[in-house]
Structure 1
Amino acid sequence: MAMSETGTKRSLFPYAVVATGIMGCFGPCALALSCAGIFFTPVSTALGVGRGVFAIYLTVMLVACAIALPFEGKLMEKKDLRVLLSAAVLCIGVPLICMSFFNEVWQFYIAGAFMGIGLAFLLVLAVPTLINRWFRKNVGFYIGLCMAFTGIGGVVFNLVGGMFIASGPDGWRMGYLAFGVLALVLALPFTLFGIRSYPGDKGLTPVGSEAAVANGEAAVAALTGPTASRAMKTLSFFALAIFAGFINLAINFYQYLPSYASSLTQYPDIVAIAATLASAAMLGQAIGKVLLGIINDKLSVYAGLGLSTGCGAVGLLVMWLVPSSVPAMLAGGFLFGVFYASATVLAPLITRTIFGTREYSTIYSRVAMVGSLCGAFAASVWGFIVDGTGFSFVFAIGIGGAVIVFLLGLLALRSGKGLADE
């Protein structure tokens, strides 16, 4: 009977962990980040400030996220993830509720800082850390599946938030209130009851490790790889950190796709698809996350690296050179979305491939910190480039950035061979 109960636990509880990752991305992460833009105009109008001044809270959020990552990576190695991730949900849900009552822009900046601390746990660290601990097979698929729900949540909740905002002058307040409650209700039951820090806490082993041991591959079942202190002294670590930074710089051109479409005044039909182009990229992002995870599992991380950067370069090239064709533009946006997916899927998978699982969350938190810092200022950087040079030069820079990302990823993988087996 005991063996039967254990078997049931072995078959079901790891998938509760996956469900927790999905709900964390679908709920708090999407509500805080993927839906932020719909509030810019109504809130800045109500507060009597410019949209840029109000949007600074997003920069504060991402900088706070980057600063928090190294500390949170260490905490995740030592503390109960139920406590840490539930606190992270509160750090997002409670500020969203409070934002419905704010009347000064500086209050949003403070709320953004708390939300950044929560996002560091939930968006950056939780999914790859949990999946790497609980699974030894199909790791890429499950990471990609969970991360895809940030985009799916964005699609769903942007519509919900839009309805609240359209309901009246203070509709944005009800929108924030609803978002905060949703963040708590959707995620807290899972972070409290759907996870444990390690499979051993439930008397289990990672999914897939049983087969590895049976085949004499005991190393696969154990935590392997260098310590964080050793990893951070290697060339592969520095190459990987710069890789993460360049990805976050390159993919943030996504924010300017509607502006690019709107700038094509010689093609009236193209102007009409400005929002559709961004949606095509979001669809590519969601599908790309799952696809890159599957490719990592079935082929190799090298194949995923080549596909994502290739899609980025080709997508940008198509949008640049074939602006008169609506299908070509949408296809280009979709391909660029696949490249966008590499930031949250490929970066953690390459980290695992190079450095193993021994101190994964500590190592990846440092890599992700570089990416988050670059992402915090990327939109402004692209804005200055667009204003100063126009879109043609921007596309050339973006294509070059995709090539650089590929070369940096290749350097990190080649120079880190053998480290994961230590």
Structure 2
Amino acid sequence: MASASNEKTVSKAYKYFMVFLCMLTQAIPYGIAQNIQPLFVHPLVNTFHFTLASYTLIFTFGAIAASVASPFIGKGLEKINFRVMYLIGIGLSAVAYVIFGISTKLPEFYIAAIICMIGSTFYSGQGVPWVINHWFPAKGRGAALGVAFCGGSIGNIFLQPATQAILKHFMTGNTKTGHLTSMAPFFIFAIALLVVGVIIAIFIRTPKKNEIVVSEQELKESKAAQEKAKAEEFQGWSGKQVLKMKWFWIFSLGFLIIGLGLASLNEDYAAFLDTKLSLTDVGLIGSMYGVGCLIGNVSGGILFDKFGTAKSMTYAGCMYVLSIAMMIFVSLQPYGSHVSKVAGIAYSIFCGLAVFSYMSGPAFMAKDLFGAKDQGVMLGYVGLAYAIGFAIGAPLFGIIKGKASFTVAWYFMMAFVIVGFVLLVISVIRIKKIQRVYIAKHQNQKAKVKEN
């Protein structure tokens, strides 16, 4: 253990530098590993003559693999130096892009996607919260996490148009039938991800044993505030009790159906828009999506705090319905139409504004609806419902499109979103009603104990 004479207090500026590195991680390594992959769908489908449904299974397999690997990566962070874990993740994601670049068969693309998703969990899904939680053990943790994860939205603003420009350089034909003349874009992004990731890894770290990141007074104040908040918050039900609630299952079903509809908005939008607009226009729409997500992530917490779960999720549902309506409108327009570009930008803004519904939404809803008693367990239940729907949604969209058309597929997605949000909001209202009865009952019991 370090002696008092060796201890040194870390400045706020240095802690904020760590937040910046986390934000940069989200903007570039994570942005390359995850956010730009949908832009490759249409060029690859055309080049190798895959079906949209079969290729978009990369997102399903990748998401499942990352979910399974995440707990083990979390345990690894407790035992292995963070910088080593960070570099392992960067290396895996870079290797995955190299595999993408040399692949010609679907199984090879699936393997690459799985490696890429697992790699990003090292430095993003598990890595970023690990760093922030160590540098901000008391006050400021929530704000620091919010700023760090905004990096993904900021990265989208410049990565989306840059990716489309690179693809355009290595493609021939129009965006409807165009195919890749070279797999060089994958190697370019593999190098960019590796170089930026290694540079970040040189500086990013967790505190040393002799470094004081928060004063004893701040820790005392934070602990007292947490204990006070814990005493006042709704403790709720255990995980076993919640599983017996009818409305929990309706809530989960609603969130699963929402996932079915939203997967296409995140994974298939580029493959669709490539058939209606130039690569430059699609890149611009992707950039505007980044702006919308930035606003949506920041405003989401405010909406939940001010209006609660039911009203906030109703707002999100309306935004998603509008965004899908824009896609339906675009599907009915001829190639290159100016109104398609305008509608595409409107789609990206509407969709981005509602991104909080599945980003911060599960964490807020788990505690708001079911209490703090088994908050971690409930977050797992809530997140799993959405993840299952999301994993099925992308290939399902491709199947519907293959059997009918993009227009029909978007109508199906709108139906999923409407039905899903209706079930979710109704169940939220009913669960809150049960919660109020539960709280009143326990308050009456406490009052009787005090009287006796």
Q: TM-score w.r.t. structure 2 length?
A: 0.67
User: Secondary structure of the residue that 1:195 maps to in structure 2?
Assistant: coil
Partner SS for 2:205: coil
Tell me the residue number matched to 2:321: 316
- Is the 8 Å Cα contact of residues 238 and 373 (structure 2) preserved in structure 1? no
The structural deviation recorded for 1:216 is: 7.2
Residue of structure 2 in register with 1:149 after alignment: 151
Letter in 2 for 1:397: F
Number of equivalenced pairs: 398
Which residue identity is paired with 1:158? Q
**Could you tell me which residue of structure 1 aligns to residue 174 of structure 2?**
none
1:245-282 Cα offsets, whole Å, 9 max, x none, are 4553343242566899999x9xxx9xxx9887666544
Q: Which residue does 1:227 correspond to in 2?
A: none
Cα offsets for 1:151-173 (capped at 9, x unmatched): 33234223333333333466652
Instruction: List alignment gaps of at least 5 residues for structure 2.
Output: 172-179, 232-236, 331-338, 440-452
Residue 69 of structure 1 is matched in structure 2 by: 70
Percent identity over paired residues: 18
2:153 match: secondary structure = helix
Q: CA deviation at 1:288?
A: 0.7
Q: After alignment, is 350-359 or 282-291 more displaced?
A: 350-359
Q: Which amino acid aligns with 1:180?
A: A
Q: Is the 8 A contact 1:67 1:369 kept in 2?
A: no
Which residue, 392, 401, 405 being the options, matches 2:420? 401
Cα distance between partner residues in 2 of 1:133 and 1:412: 34
Distance of aligned partners of 1:64 and 1:400 in 2 relative to their CA distance in 1, 3 Å threshold = same
Can you give the 5+ residue segments of structure 1 that lack an aligned partner in the other structure?
A: 225-229
Residue number in structure 2 paired with 1:91: 92
**CA–CA distance in structure 1, aligned partners of residues 158 and 433 of structure 2:** 37
2:26/2:152 contact within 8 Å kept:
yes
The 8 Å contact of residues 244 and 347 in structure 1, kept in 2 or not, is answered as: no
1:346 to 333, 354, 361: 361
Deviation at 1:333, TM superposition (A): 5.0
Deviation string for 1:315-335 (max 9, x for gaps)? 515864996998788556523
| Native 8 Å contact 1:138 1:294 kept in 2 | no
Instruction: Determine if contact 2:292/2:353 at 8 Å carries over to the other structure.
Output: yes
Distance 1:281 1:155, change over 3 A: closer
Q: Does 1:109 align with 2:125?
A: no
Identify the residue that residue 181 of structure 1 maps to in structure 2: 191
More displaced stretch, 401-410 vs 109-118: 401-410
Which residue matches 1:287?
A: 295
Matched, 1:248 2:264: no
Instruction: Give the direction of change, closer, same or farther, for the CA distance of 1:378–1:295 in structure 2 (3 Å limit).
Output: same
- Any residues of structure 2 matched to 1:153-168 within 5 Å, and which? 153-168=155-170
The C-alpha deviation readout for 1:279-317, integer Å capped at 9, x for no partner, is 654432221112224566xx46x6477435413325515
Q: Report the Cα distance in structure 1 between the residues aligned to 2:273 and 2:39, rounded to whole angstroms.
A: 19
Kept in 2: contact 1:27–1:153 (CA 8 A):
yes
Partner of residue 190, structure 1: 200
> TM-score, structure 1 length as denominator?
0.71
Alpha-carbon distance between aligned partners in 2 of 1:103 and 1:17, rounded to the nearest angstrom: 40
Where 2:350 maps in the other structure, the secondary structure is helix
Letter in 2 for 1:343: Y
